[in-house]
Structure 1
Amino acid sequence: MGAALAVSLGIVWLATNSAPAVAAFAAGLVALGGLTWVLARPKPVQQQVEYALPDWSVTVAAIDRPDCAVAITDRAGRLVCANRAFEVWFTTAHAPPRLPVDNASLERLAKAGRSGWRDGQGKADIIENESGRWSAEAQRAGRGDDYLVWTISPLSNPDPVAELVPHLDGKLGRALAAAGMAAAIVDPDGKIRAASSGFAARATGDPAALLTGQEFTAFLRQDERDQVSWAREGRRGNPLTMYYLPVRDPDAPGAVDYGTTPSLMLLVEAGVGLGGGAVEGTAAVPHLEALLGNLPLGLAMADRDGRLLFANPAFMRAAGREGEAPPVYPTDLVVQEDKGAISDAIRRFAQGPAAAGDLAVRLRTQPEDPVTLSLAGVRGLGEAAVLLSLTDSSEETRLKRQVAQATKMQAVGQLAGGVAHDFNNVLTAILGTCDLMLLRHTPGDSDYDDIQQIRANSNRAASLTRQLLAFSRQQTLRPEVLQLPDVVQDVSTLLKRLIGEKVKLSVAHDRDLGAVRADPSQLEQVIVNLVVNARDAVLAKGEIGGGKITLATRRVTAADVRAMRSAIMPQVDYTALVVEDTGTGIAPDYLGKIFEPFFTTKEQGKGTGLGLSTVYGIVKQSGGFIFADSEVGKGTKFTVYLPVHHASPEELAAKTVRAEPAAQWAGGGRVLLVEDEDMVRAVAERALTRAGYTVTAAADGDEGLAYVEQGAEFDLVLSDVVMPGMDGPAMVREIRARHPSLPVLFMSGYAEEQLRKEIDIADVHFLPKPFTVQQVTDKVGGVLAAARI
């Protein structure tokens, strides 16, 4: 190639005789040759790296540990490798986190697995089943982080006794002996499990004596004064103070079982403290204070001079002094009149033989309610003292007050129902007389407006009786199956006028609300009363902008009720009415009294105290529940729960049948009117006579029954329920024995539902008092028309 290159350059020189041309030609040949060499150079062969599949046998050998279970899972949750401990404890049929453990453990394992894949590691502190308890850890591993390594370690219960025994035989025991304390661990059966050198020296005279398995009490003696000393020292021995401590895991759940728990016994000569220094008073006080300090019983100890040595927190709580330091004398806790009795009792129990007794005292914190103070003489643990026991009776006192309040409310309710019944008779006479007078006067007469005024005031009085009956849950309800939003919609226009322009009213409804069965007019009264109270609370706060009232209906399922954990409400579906305001709120002291009658926080003359009690009565009589939540300064929320009404098969069948038009009564008929109130009887008689009926009036049940027995024929019996002598139901039963199909119409001021349960007579009708002339004539005509069908 070199010769050819030289020849080529010579030829170019001969042809051109030009040195630049030769140089250019030579450079071109060099460039062409270099390009040819680059293109023709052989490429290096890329080395192929092959990875071998993991050798799981090596992994199994590496993780073969007897103290814990190890398992490896892939991203699909499959078990790819496990050691022998895992196979024994859980079997290879289960892969973490799906192990044969309880549900709570499964949740913890699943959470640990998610943390392992996400963060690289996860942990489940406790997993357990019937065969054991473990802790589990999950760690992500592998070249592509494709595996989770699970390490499951068993949890063992700590044995504090086993841990304490070598210390008692070692430096701890020698340190206790140097401080003048003898220590021993005693099993529940009274046998010594381990003893310090100081205990062995005092009990036997030989510090190296082996006392394991011997009776603890065999080394002690008790004299006639119940003082304990070393048996080896006899009568010359000094009294001992014993400190008793159950040896158990302090973090273990549950209470101490003294019958199964070993005890650490520390014995110190009386008058010597735990640090070796002298102490005054009863030597056993620190021991008892440590023993009784955390008990739920109210316990304290007093010396023979009446000084209070200690009192546990439960004792101070029962005395109404929770969180305070115990006083110097227990007599400081009671009223002046009971101080002498307590002092005498303490002196008697401290100096006399061991005995116990009770004493009724009155605490300074609640002088109206006596409590029982139990006293017991303490012997055998040093100087004589008296153990005092006081039970926390605050809950019992609260329950007593609630029962007394409930009894009082029941009596007030019965009184309100009786007053309303009698008042309804008076109002019936007044309203009936006004109606009869209006038949003779026309608008424009001088007396017409006065009569209308009397009638209007009588109707206001009738609304008051309805409130009283609502409070006593004795009003006559006319329940219908309805949708709660429809009732809210009907009354919303009235509510806007009631609250005014300063207060904003917001209305919201949930979807798919269940129907409820209630009296729509009574529900309207509930809504109005709650909104009016909310308006007053908002205006009383005086906010700029007036505040806000929220009126809402909510769907509450049985699952929601279970989540509420209410012990009062049955777990069924409800439709809830919520009235919430941004007003002043209700103080916690008043929140439990707001549904009581005549209780009000408004100024005198601005509230009767019957609004919320009326609401409560209507809600309870409708089968519902009402709750109030309030925070002072932020507002109040009332929630009314009404059970969802599920139609019975009879109701569903009735909906499919087209109702026939009601028959109309042509007028006339023979009516037996029985009423003990003269004015009511006179009004009803005149009203029915004017309507074309033939009326026979009787003053009581005996007189009415006499007309029937004499052979008089009647088309209808119109009778009061409650009458002196023979009442209405008794008279009707006698009449029905002779005329089974005779229509009966009862009139009463009591609730229809209550009366139907009490009288238990079929096919009777009711007319609530007070009634107008038009109402009594229409009702009589309707009953006679229904009897004709």
Structure 2
Amino acid sequence: MPDRNLAGAEAVIAALPQPALLLDSAGRILVANLALRRSLEGGLLIRPGDEAARVFPAAAEVMAAALRGETPIAVPVEGGGRLRALPLGGAGAMILLEPAAGGSARLEILGRLAGGIAHDFNNLLGVILGASTALRRIAAQPEAAEELGAIEGAAQRGTALVRQLLAFARQQVMAPRIVELNESVRQLAILLPRLLGAGIVLELELEEPSRRIRVDPSQWDQVLLNLVVNARDAMKGRGRLRIATGRRLVLAGEALNPGRYAVVEVTDDGPGIAPEIVPRIFEPFFTTRLDQGGTGLGLATVQGIVGQFGGQMEVESRPSATTFRIVLPRHDGPADSEPPPPVAEKRAVEGPVLLVDDEPNLLRVARFGLQQAGFGVEVAGDAEEALGRIEVGLEPCLVATDVAMPGMDGLELARAVRARHPGLPILLLSGYSASTVDSDLAGQGMHFLAKPYTPESLLAAVRKALGTA
């Protein structure tokens, strides 16, 4: 693991209140957080490179299983709680000392860890995508174009994995709208016959009148498609798949807040889920298809997205009938129409774009892309340097800044810049969602672009923020 990635992982683990440990593929310690060091009796010294089995000899077998890529396992520890070992796709394992409360605490830990890793990974993917785009402009040979296509394809697959991690951590970038539930299911159903194959019969049971829900349409489609693909695989290509809609009234004392809800059910007549597996079905990194390349993030992703919509997932299974049920808050009033393309008043641009990021390679490819489009560009490696440049006379037309940086973060920089230059366009760049960064960016006149971005998407975001799109 490169030093920069290791530092990013260490920063995430250091923030966890629970003891945590990262192992490499040979079972050696990469990172141990302060909470873990304090929990060890006798002041046992932990050094990077030490064998993890020396620290937790009673859990040696569990850790070995995780390093072999087996499903997550936990063992009780003295004083209450459990030691859990999670495989990391052949790259090593993560060890967590869970409190006796267990479940919710573990999910919170994993969510924070997933969000932190995703942020660092988004920076790396941004560098890959930006550099490959830049090379396409100067590489004329067909062989070079083919290799660049392979690089971009790998980066796009990495981007999809990061989206899964962020969805599980409930930090996915969302653009919610109010949609007609039944219509959204009908539109998706048009695409399903080819996905399901000739051996699976699709049945729709859509209760009228249709309810309305507030979702991100693309993420909503991802939820339904994920459940449909799981059902198809469970039926092994033959059977009946039923998608139904309905309603539910939730009263006080139930898990959900009281109110009126819309319900969607995806039911297959496959062999069913073993009873001992059902309680773990939404658990991240848990998979029964490890030998088929399963990551254990599919249903965890679904649950994360539905949670961001304000709803919850339920599952019922018996032989020949498994139902995944999505329960979402209902919304009154008309559905949103498709938003018209924004019409911005064109204005002249004076001064350079000031790019701020603590990732040097990402800063380099972003600068190159904007310069190719004709923008003057100044760069700074952190917020303090950027603010210092402005204080000595730099007058940028726009500040585009990463949010998560050591010291002063990007949001603090934006507010400090605005105090000196009210109305200066600000573009915030982050691997986290806009709502995680700040709940009212639009109200503050700030723009947002999610990482990883391509040179083209960065250019479009800069132009939109400047009103020159």
Is the radius of gyration larger for structure 1 or structure 2?
1
Q: C-alpha deviations, 1:589-608, integer Å up to 9, x for none? A: 22111110011223523421
* C-alpha contact (below 8 Å) 1:729/1:759 kept by paired residues: no
Paired letter, 2:389: Y
Match of 1:414 in 2: 112
Paired letter, 2:277: Y
Establish whether residue 463 from structure 1 lines up as the match of residue 145 from structure 2.
no
Match of 1:518 in 2: 215
Match of 1:776 in 2: 458
1:361-760 to 2 correspondence within 5 Å?
403-441=101-139, 445-539=142-236, 546-554=238-246, 556-558=247-249, 561-562=250-251, 567-631=254-318, 633-647=319-333, 661-663=343-345, 670-757=352-439
Q: C-alpha deviations, 1:598-632, integer Å up to 9, x for none? A: 1122352342111110000000011112111111x
Separation (CA, whole Å) in 2 of partners of 1:725 and 1:640: 42
SS for the counterpart of 1:449 is: helix
Deviation at 1:498, TM superposition (A): 2.4
Aligned partner of 2:445 among 748, 763, 771: 763
Separation (CA, whole Å) in 2 of partners of 1:754 and 1:681: 23
Separation (CA, whole Å) in 1 of partners of 2:432 and 2:320: 41
1:106-125 to 2 correspondence within 5 Å?
none
Separation (CA, whole Å) in 2 of partners of 1:454 and 1:576: 41
TM-score, L = length of structure 1? 0.45
Give the unaligned 5+ runs of structure 2: 1-74, 81-97
* C-alpha contact (below 8 Å) 1:667/1:693 kept by paired residues: no
TM-score, L = length of structure 2? 0.74
> Cα distance 1:781–1:658, how it changes in 2: closer, same or farther (>3 A)?
closer
> Cα distance 1:549–1:660, how it changes in 2: closer, same or farther (>3 A)?
closer
Q: C-alpha deviations, 1:170-205, integer Å up to 9, x for none? A: xxxxxxxxxxxxxxxxxxxxxxxxxxxxxxxxxxxx
Deviation at 1:401, TM superposition (A): 7.7
Deviation at 1:368, TM superposition (A): 7.4
Separation (CA, whole Å) in 2 of partners of 1:464 and 1:367: 31
Separation (CA, whole Å) in 1 of partners of 2:217 and 2:101: 33
Deviation at 1:491, TM superposition (A): 2.8
1:196-235 to 2 correspondence within 5 Å?
none
Separation (CA, whole Å) in 2 of partners of 1:646 and 1:743: 36
Match of 2:53 in 1: none
SS for the counterpart of 1:627 is: strand
Paired letter, 2:211: G
Paired letter, 1:518: V
Q: C-alpha deviations, 1:741-769, integer Å up to 9, x for none? A: 11110000011111114999822111000
Q: C-alpha deviations, 1:388-414, integer Å up to 9, x for none? A: xxxxxxxxxxxx988212212211111
Deviation at 1:367, TM superposition (A): 9.6
Separation (CA, whole Å) in 2 of partners of 1:695 and 1:439: 19
Separation (CA, whole Å) in 2 of partners of 1:367 and 1:716: 55
Paired letter, 1:579: V
> Cα distance 1:603–1:426, how it changes in 2: closer, same or farther (>3 A)?
closer
Separation (CA, whole Å) in 2 of partners of 1:441 and 1:647: 53
SS for the counterpart of 1:446 is: helix
* C-alpha contact (below 8 Å) 1:668/1:692 kept by paired residues: no
Separation (CA, whole Å) in 2 of partners of 1:672 and 1:473: 31
Q: C-alpha deviations, 1:143-178, integer Å up to 9, x for none? A: xxxxxxxxxxxxxxxxxxxxxxxxxxxxxxxxxxxx
1:134-149 to 2 correspondence within 5 Å?
none
Separation (CA, whole Å) in 1 of partners of 2:302 and 2:342: 37
The RMSD of aligned alpha carbons is: 3.0
1:245-260 to 2 correspondence within 5 Å?
none
> Cα distance 1:693–1:585, how it changes in 2: closer, same or farther (>3 A)?
same
1:50-69 to 2 correspondence within 5 Å?
none
> Cα distance 1:672–1:586, how it changes in 2: closer, same or farther (>3 A)?
same
Deviation at 1:726, TM superposition (A): 2.0
Aligned residues: 377
Paired letter, 1:410: E
SS for the counterpart of 1:604 is: helix
Separation (CA, whole Å) in 1 of partners of 2:405 and 2:306: 31
SS for the counterpart of 2:396 is: coil
Q: C-alpha deviations, 1:201-256, integer Å up to 9, x for none? A: xxxxxxxxxxxxxxxxxxxxxxxxxxxxxxxxxxxxxxxxxxxxxxxxxxxxxxxx
* C-alpha contact (below 8 Å) 1:667/1:781 kept by paired residues: no
Deviation at 1:440, TM superposition (A): 2.5
Paired letter, 1:581: D
Q: C-alpha deviations, 1:334-386, integer Å up to 9, x for none? A: xxxxxxxxxxxxxxxxxxxxxxxxxxxxxxxx997899xxxxxxxxxxxxxxx
Separation (CA, whole Å) in 2 of partners of 1:370 and 1:778: 56
Separation (CA, whole Å) in 1 of partners of 2:76 and 2:366: 59
* Identity between Structure 1 and Structure 2 (%): 39
Separation (CA, whole Å) in 1 of partners of 2:341 and 2:147: 44
Deviation at 1:518, TM superposition (A): 0.8
> Cα distance 1:592–1:758, how it changes in 2: closer, same or farther (>3 A)?
farther
Separation (CA, whole Å) in 1 of partners of 2:101 and 2:180: 37
* C-alpha contact (below 8 Å) 1:580/1:638 kept by paired residues: yes
Separation (CA, whole Å) in 2 of partners of 1:647 and 1:670: 45
Deviation at 1:495, TM superposition (A): 2.6
Deviation at 1:489, TM superposition (A): 3.1
SS for the counterpart of 1:592 is: helix
> Cα distance 1:586–1:702, how it changes in 2: closer, same or farther (>3 A)?
same
Paired letter, 2:179: L
> Cα distance 1:702–1:367, how it changes in 2: closer, same or farther (>3 A)?
closer
* C-alpha contact (below 8 Å) 1:746/1:767 kept by paired residues: yes
SS for the counterpart of 1:403 is: coil
Separation (CA, whole Å) in 2 of partners of 1:459 and 1:667: 33
Separation (CA, whole Å) in 1 of partners of 2:454 and 2:441: 25
Q: C-alpha deviations, 1:640-659, integer Å up to 9, x for none? A: 011112359xx99xx9x999
Paired letter, 1:678: P
